Structure 1
Amino acid sequence: MARHLYHCPLRWSDMDAFGHVNNVVFLRYLEEARIDFMFRLRPRDGSPSFSGGSVVARHEIDYKLPLVHRHEPVIIESWVTKIGAASLTIAYEIKEADDPQRVYVRASTVVVPYDLEAGRPRRITAEERHYLQEYLEGAEPRRTGAEEDALVA
């Protein structure tokens, strides 16, 4: 399975009074990687997939090591761990480009596709599911369509 790689620059303003990147800033880094990931997944053929809105339903972050500000970017690896009927879970690792064993953060985000015009969540389309499955790893056992429909209803 594939992982999306995002080279995230560190900014001087990301640093806190203790000389390391502030914990809240990591949420911004994850957002940048997630947006890059979703837009790269979007087909270029005029398809409406991934063109609507989405909302974050949940974040989980484990801070592993402090990240001191420097000029070199960090790498954020993103992949999908779960695809439901109307949500997906994206996992991340923020790590050193030249030492992938040095992990600063492990995190996950539950994303819900959102119909901006209707003002409510929407289901993941078959086309979107197809693209997301290329990045699916470490997933729970798959549910049948009927089981997913029962969860959303």
Structure 2
Amino acid sequence: MARHLYHCPLRWSDMDAFGHVNNVVFLRYLEEARIDFMFRLQPGDGSPSFSGGSVVARHEIDYVRPLVHRHEPVVVESWVTRITAASLTIAYEIKDTEGASQLYVRASTVVVPYDLEAGRPRRISAEEKSHLQQYLETAETMEEGALVA
């Protein structure tokens, strides 16, 4: 399955008094990666998919190791772990580089598509679901991949 890669620059203001990237800043990194991911998923010209808005319903973050400020960006790998009628769950890993074993954060976000004009959640369209499924990686698909390898 495909994973979206986002190269996230570290800013001087991301550091806390202890010289490492503050835990709250990681939420911003996830947000930047998620927005880049959703816009890259947006289908061709004229399609309304993913343009109506979305809201975050839940975040889960596991901080694996401290990230000291540096000049090189980190890589945020993103993929979908769950799609329901009216929500999706995006998983993330923040690493040194693509495919690196040096892991800083493992996280997930539940996103709910939102109709901004109506002021309420909406269902995921068939077109959106089709695009999201390209990035769908569940525990079952990961186990199947391990069995094949």
TM-score by length of 1: 0.89
Is the partner of 1:48 in helix, strand or coil?
coil
C-alpha distance in structure 2 between counterparts of 1:52 and 1:127, whole Å: 14
Whichever residue aligns with residue 69 of structure 2, its letter is: H
8 Å contact from structure 1 (residues 90, 110) kept in 2: yes
- Which residue does 1:70 correspond to in 2? 70
C-alpha distance in structure 2 between counterparts of 1:48 and 1:13, whole Å: 36
Q: Against the structure 1 CA distance between its residues 21 and 117, is the aligned structure 2 distance closer, same or farther, given a 3 Å change threshold?
A: same
Q: Deviations over 1:6-39 (max 9, x none)?
A: 0000000000000000000000000000000000
What do you get for the CA RMSD once the two structures are aligned? 1.4
C-alpha distance in structure 1 between counterparts of 2:99 and 2:126, whole Å: 37
- Which residue does 2:38 correspond to in 1? 38
Whichever residue aligns with residue 57 of structure 1, its letter is: A
C-alpha distance in structure 1 between counterparts of 2:115 and 2:60, whole Å: 24
- Which residue does 1:145 correspond to in 2? none
8 Å contact from structure 1 (residues 82, 139) kept in 2: no
Superposition misfits of 4+ residues, deviation over 6 angstroms: none
For the pair 1:133 / 2:137, whether they are aligned, the reply is no
Whichever residue aligns with residue 124 of structure 2, its letter is: I
8 Å contact from structure 1 (residues 82, 140) kept in 2: no
Q: Against the structure 1 CA distance between its residues 140 and 49, is the aligned structure 2 distance closer, same or farther, given a 3 Å change threshold?
A: farther
For the pair 1:86 / 2:79, whether they are aligned, the reply is no
Is the partner of 1:31 in helix, strand or coil?
helix
C-alpha distance in structure 1 between counterparts of 2:50 and 2:88, whole Å: 12
C-alpha distance in structure 1 between counterparts of 2:115 and 2:99, whole Å: 40
Q: Which runs of 5+ in 1 are unaligned?
A: 142-153
C-alpha distance in structure 1 between counterparts of 2:139 and 2:64, whole Å: 23
Whichever residue aligns with residue 116 of structure 2, its letter is: L
Is the partner of 1:56 in helix, strand or coil?
strand
TM-score by length of 2: 0.92
Q: By how many angstroms is 1:44 displaced? A: 2.3
C-alpha distance in structure 2 between counterparts of 1:49 and 1:66, whole Å: 37
Whichever residue aligns with residue 116 of structure 1, its letter is: L
- Which residue does 2:147 correspond to in 1? none
